[in-house]
Structure 1
Amino acid sequence: MIRHGQSEANVDQTLYNRLPDYRIPLTELGVAQAKATGEQVRRQLNGEKVRVYVSPYLRAYQTLEAMDIGDLIETTMEEPRLREQDWANFQNPAEIADQKELRNAYGHFFYRFREGESGSDVYDRVSSFMETLFRHWSRSDTTPNTLLVTHGLTMRLFCMRWFHWSVEYFESLNNPGNAETRTLIRDGNRYVLDVPFDQWTPAEPGKTVLDAPEHIW
């Protein structure tokens, strides 16, 4: 999995109120980040073919293009279920900032943005995509590797679903940086994550709401 490179909106969030989120492009730095990650992925693939699923957002497509691994790609499939969390249509930065504060208090997984999605909504569509992934993997002619070109929150929720992490553990994790990767490596009959997500607060994968401190208002 790779998160898209730095986007124009990562630098200037006012873009959200005049440009649809899915049309926001990469910056020059974002292209350079994706190119460097492409070299890393090429080394990991070591000449093997890969099937690519890419978010329909412009910055995801530009990330894949900048990675320059086309000679190793067997198939590229646009996958809307790997898109960014929907926050709103044209976004008012001040209103989004207020909602982010509410989300921090309420919880990233369950808080639903007005006119948008909650983390749990993204979890549901990622779970649906995973069923498609398993069907593709069951085919006799499937490629040995899969690449998801997607977004930071979507990556975290994919891993949450895959490894059956609790909501409380998910809440402790930070998004990967722009153009960072996370790789699920097959180890016998199971997969392991090559690099853990950074945490902003300590938590274990099995921690539940029973273990969380009570909120006092």
Structure 2
Amino acid sequence: MARPRRIVLIRHGESEGNVDDSVYERVPDHALRLTARGRRQAAEAGVQLRREFGTERVSAYVSPYRRTHDTFRALRLDPTLVRAREEPRLREQDWGNWQDQEDVRRQKAARDSYGHFFYRFAQGESGADVYDRVDAFLESLWRSFDAPDHPPNVLLVTHGLTMRLFCMRWMHWSVAEFESLSNPGNGETRALVLGADGRYHLDRPFEKWCAPEPYGVL
């Protein structure tokens, strides 16, 4: 098994929906574009990643949303070194179809009280649903490591909540630990780095907005 030395996750750059949530009433979530600032964020992240990857090969998986595709292109990675594919299981949490601005704000407030992992949007997904498809993607990812010539780097171009849930699944965090963490900023990365002990370690933690409140007997 050729396990990669690093698995890098990047959140897409700032999108139209990050600056104006009324846009969801007119434009499908999957079709939102990056803002000018979002393109700059992605370009800056690309400088860092090109330095980090050097001349090593990269296996890249990109969420099917326009803003993640645009982010990947703005990274300007060497196409001779990168094997890229679209991966629908890394998409954003589904909130339904056209969104009513006031209804979404009401549901977001309810989610903050109920919990981001378990709360299900009326016509969409819960965080637990996203966790399940991330888990299915991880099974596929692990099988890809069986190839003896698997690239030493993996890149996931995805979304903030999906990044947290991927790390939750990989690192075996509890729901309480997940709930205590904030999404990374637009264009920010986190990396799982293979250590000398044969285990993957997060290069830097997610910011915490509260202390975990575990319950139960585990």
The TM-score normalised by the length of structure 1 is 0.93
1:34 aligns with 2:23: no
1:132 aligns with 2:132: no
Is structure 2 residue 192 aligned with structure 1 residue 184?
yes
Tell me which of 97, 109, 124 is aligned to 1:116. 124
Q: How far 1:137 sits from its partner (Å)?
A: 1.1
Task: Name 2:23's counterpart in structure 1.
Answer: 15
Match of 1:200 in 2: 209
- Please show how residues 1-217 of structure 1 align to structure 2 within 5 Å: 1-71=9-79, 73-188=81-196, 189-203=198-212, 208-210=214-216
Count of equivalent residues: 208
Contact kept, 8 Å, 2:55 with 2:81, in 1: the verdict is no
Residues 136-194 of structure 1, C-alpha deviations (whole Å, 9 max, x = no match): 11111211100000000000000000000000010000000000000000003100000
Percent of paired sites with the same residue = 53
Unmatched 5+ stretches in structure 2: 1-8
SS at match of 1:71: coil
C-alpha displacement at 1:72, in angstroms? 5.5
Query: Larger relative CO (CA 8 A, sep 6+): 1 or 2?
Result: 2
SS in 2 for 1:113: coil
Question: Unpaired runs of 5+ in structure 1?
Answer: 212-217
Aligned to 1:214: none
User: Residue 210 of structure 1 aligns to which amino acid in structure 2?
Assistant: G
Structure 2 distance, partners of 1:56, 1:50, is 19
Describe the SS at the equivalent of 1:196.
coil
Contact 1:52/1:73 (<8 A) preserved: no
TM-score, normalised on structure 2? Answer: 0.93
Is the partner of 1:139 in helix, strand or coil? Answer: coil
C-alpha distance in structure 2 between counterparts of 1:102 and 1:88, whole Å: 16
Once residues 59 and 210 of structure 2 are traced to their aligned partners in structure 1, the CA distance between those partners, rounded to angstroms, is 35
Q: Give RMSD over aligned pairs.
A: 1.2
Change (3 A) 1:158 1:108: same
Amino acid at match of 2:186: N
